Chains A and B, each alone.
Chain A
Amino acid sequence: MTGTTNVIFRRLFESASRAILTIFGVIIATFFILHIVPGDPVLMILGEHASSQAVAALRETLGLDRSLWTQFIAFLSGIIQHADAGHSLVYRIPSSELVLSRLPVTGTLVLLSTLLTVAIVCVFAIIAAVNEEKTADHLIRTLSTLGASMPVFWVAIILILVFSINLRWFPVGGMGRHGFINSLILPAITAAIVTAPMLIRSLRTQLLEVLNADFVNMLRISGLSTPRIMVRHVLPNAAIPALILLGINISGMIGGSIILERVFALPGIGSLLFDAIAKRDFPLIQTIALFSAAGVVVVSFITDITVRLLDPRARMEK
């Protein structure tokens, strides 16, 4: 067992150093890309008629008159010393405070869509697998091709039309006169519809492979109940490729929330990022990039660990 523990620790260390490198890369890339892209935050704050004196004065106040290198050093030391990428240029409060205030919406949305995706994927993949080449299987495969080919915003608009405008089951969008979770259900379904199809296909293929394996036959002969075989033995063995895909897709959702939150008018991190980019609010954009990089790293870390726990081969690998 000690050998296994060692391997896990080494894996952890490797993952952690990779995570730090990734986040560092994101910090450098966002900083320089933002400053190369045209557009001036000062002009966005001061408006159309801002005189050049007013522009110069505000630029000095915000420290944007310093050389790019000085700004970068200040930015880095802010992150290392205070874990803070600076005050938002527009709102003049710590960027991290702004991002944290939006985290519940985006976090819940990602969590909800993930749970929904997992549920949909398991159910449909199992139905398809046990009904191989029958109507249900064909139907699910066709539907999943359809789902995979629909763009997020389009699915969102269709769902809003049907469930919010015609049926009035859910709010059209936003977070106004209705519950928190209520506002997130439709966006989460949208995300799940777009994410699930690929995973269903992957899981179905793997399930078929495992269902036909000798050990399943053996388990059946030894008298284990069908659901027990399915849940305890078949699913864990078949789930690994789908799980890796799911991890990638969750990371995608963190970035993709910008479209989803805009279409559903949700006050999450995605819509904050949209506004921040429009106004060239550099510190805020950098903070959001940092948070999402951290999110992606955490998700891939969890995926990594889960895969290792499920797969004895990966666990033992030296």
Chain B
Amino acid sequence: MTFKKNRLNTIVSGLLLAQLSLFAGSSYVQAASEKSLIVGRYAPVESLDIANVFDVSVYTADQIFEPLYIVGKEGKPTPWLATSAVSDNDGLVWTFKLRPGVKFSDGKALRAEDVVFTLERHLKNAGGIPLLAPITSITAPDQNTVVIKLKEAYPALLSDISAVSNGIMPANFAGQTEENFFRNPVGTGPFELESWEPGGTVTLKKNPHYWQSEKPYYDELAFTVLPDENQRVQQLLAGQIDVIDNLPPVRFAELSKNPDISVSRSESWIIQILQFNTKDPHFSDVHVRRAVNLAIDRKALASATSFNTSDAATSLVPPTVDFFDAKISEHDIDAAKQELSRSAFPDGFSTTILLPGGDQVRSQQAQIIQNQLAKIGIKVAIISLDPAVVREKTHAGDYALRLQESISDVSDPNIFLTYHVSPEDGGSDSYWTFYNNPHLTSILRQARVEQDEKLRGALYREAQDIIATDVPIIPLVYQSRLVATRSNLTGVEAIPNGATRFYSAREK
């Protein structure tokens, strides 16, 4: 060919070079604004209606709305928008004194009628974390006092009031419609809403009227959505985000060695559990459930799947929740075999374990359980499905074993235990295990109203005994809260109920 290739080559190479230098020219420069704090979360906020949401949504809305009492760093109900709460001798009338000088982010003062409005709405709504206290009336005798009257004594009242769902909002949504209000919410919290891309980043800005003077130290707090765990950690390393408040355990050791990152491990009320469908032909037999309980080596499971960041569970009640009582059943294959021989299936059987797909921790747990149950003749097939399908199957009772995680929202065990083992009072058929022990239900009902702390403790110990004997649910792991921040950041508070507070966060 006589084609003038050389000339063409020059042109093409020139183009190629220009292309390359264009990319090099647009090099990424880190331009972190010093006054804004970015938190990477795995899911988007669905709604800011604090009384009706869970998970990421509620832990964002709680930056805007605050309750009368709050779950403190150590987990105890701590005076917040109220400075004190006193009950009469029968425990039927509770008087809350509001903190003077508290203002909403629109500058209006917090009044008792706002509290009445909020709590009454939550009682009616019963979404999110329902207010289960037997409240007969909520009144405001004066601007700074709220009186809650109860049908029967309810010692867990302060603890329940401290649940995130009870964040206070202005009476009648400050004159807006409910729908508009939650798109443009007004609360007493350290931050107020600046912008919200549905399904994406929620940006909050400092509430200029916040009652704790000078706080928060950041002008802006953004929650960005990074579903991919790897992406979340890489963005933290690159300084694109400042905080990961639910660090995957597999990353803990690696990040704790990195000088740019600080990691912390603290108590949480999250517990990983194995649920039995007690309507299943095999697991309706208590001996089978006990055998499974004895066959699982929880210590090994906990340390392997949490990379030594969490401990094996010893009761359904997390250890920092009131009246926790360790019920240790040691891993014992022989005892498990004996227990199984007392059941209707002495030679074992085949069953399934249900878990959400894409969940690495639970998938490892399932494999360990599969392996350990094989030793006593129970063959387990792992079924990993889309989370939406897992939930539908569970609610329909269409499963045998399920791996799940559960969280106590408050420091009192009443709501938590009621949910898990009291079919009618909890509203979810003993958390979809369909377990029903009338004796246990009656103990929980007594404990709920018992005012004497010692007697109440004895009742909850008995309840934990019964749960450990009947094994409707096996507590597997007490999951620690792992938080990673850029190392120049201090004051991020990780609360055992899953909340993270940023009002004290500041640069070192």
Contacts and interface: CB of A to CB of B under 8 A. Distances in A.
Contacts of B44: 275
B426 A185 contact: no
Interface in A243-288: 262-265, 267, 271-272, 274-275, 278-280
B32 interface: yes
Interface string A170-206: 1111111110011001000100000000000000000
B46 A91 contact: yes
Contacts, number: 175
Contacts of B200: 267
Interface string A211-229: 1000000001000001100
Contacts of A126: 8, 12
Interface stretch (B220-228, B311-319, B336-344, B456-464): B220-228
Contacts of A21: none
B127 interface: yes
Contact of A38 (B3, B27, B237, B389): B389
B240 to A, nearest CB: 5
Contacts of A227: 7-8, 11
A189 B19 CA distance: 12
B240 A54 contact: no
Given A49-B427, A172-B234, A173-B226, A226 B391 contact: no
A157 B1 CA distance: 43
Contact of A40 (B16, B197, B201, B391): B391
Nearest to B179: A92
Interface string A76-117: 000000000000101111000010011000000000000000
Given A131-B5, A171-B238, A43 B392 contact: yes
A169 interface: yes
Given A90-B46, A123-B12, A267-B201, A177 B38 contact: yes
A45 interface: yes
A130 interface: yes
B198 A54 contact: no
A226 B11 CA distance: 11
Contact of B388 (A49, A101, A279): A279
A165 interface: yes
Contacts of A160: 234
Contact of A274 (B16, B38, B227): B227
Contact of A51 (B23, B389, B427): B427
B225 A267 contact: yes
Contacts of A25: none
Interface string B175-209: 00001000000000000000001111100000000
B33 interface: yes
A314 interface: no
B89 interface: no
B28 A123 contact: no
B38 A165 contact: no
A170 B228 CA distance: 18
A174 B227 contact: no
Contact of A130 (B8, B228, B231, B237): B8
B235 interface: yes
Contacts of B47: 91-92
B30 interface: yes
A168 interface: yes
Given A46-B127, A130-B8, 17 more contacts: A38-B388, A49-B426, A49-B427, A50-B395, A119-B19, A126-B12, A130-B5, A169-B26, A169-B28, A171-B238, A173-B240, A176-B240, A227-B7, A263-B231, A265-B225, A265-B231, A267-B201
Lowest 8 CB-CB distances: which A-B pairs, in order?
A: A39-B388, A51-B427, A267-B200, A172-B234, A169-B27, A170-B28, A91-B198, A226-B4
Interface of B: 1-5, 7-9, 11-12, 15-16, 19, 23-24, 26-28, 30-33, 38, 43-44, 46-47, 54-55, 126-127, 179, 197-201, 222, 224-228, 230-231, 234-235, 237-238, 240-241, 386-389, 391-393, 395, 404, 406, 419, 426-428, 431
14 contacts: A39-B388, A48-B391, A48-B406, A54-B127, A98-B198, A123-B15, A130-B9, A131-B9, A172-B237, A176-B235, A177-B30, A181-B26, A211-B3, A220-B3
